[in-house]
């Protein structure tokens, strides 16, 4: 049986919503990340976080204007990053 190649992609994303990443937007972000097989990590303020851990992300204290690096490694890495980017861009539209 042939193994599927693990693909890693990284994108830098700026946080634009007024209140940064607090409990409600982080909850949305985690739900989004959990839909994918890829391992998704976020680096912000010098802290590396799992994108499927609310507590990890909350302790990074990510505020408006912060630039984060999101890395997805796995078979659906591109789709995962597209979804994460879309989720983060829609936060201000949701009133978060």
| Catalytic residue IDs | 22
CB 42 within 8 A of CB 57: yes
Cβ atoms of 20 and 64 within 8 Å: the answer is yes
Which two tokens mark 84?
């994460």
């Amino acid at each position: 049986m042939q193994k599927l190649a693990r693909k890693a992609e990284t994108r830098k994303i700026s946080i634009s919503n007024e209140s940064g990443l607090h409990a409600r937007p982080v909850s949305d972000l985690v739900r989004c990340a959990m839909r994918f097989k890829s391992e998704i990590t976020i680096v912000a303020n010098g802290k590396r976080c799992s994108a499927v851990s609310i507590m990890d992300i909350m302790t990074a204290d990510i505020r408006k204007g912060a630039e984060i690096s999101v890395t997805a490694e796995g078979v659906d890495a591109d789709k995962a990053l597209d979804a994460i980017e879309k989720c983060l861009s829609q936060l201000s539209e949701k009133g978060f």
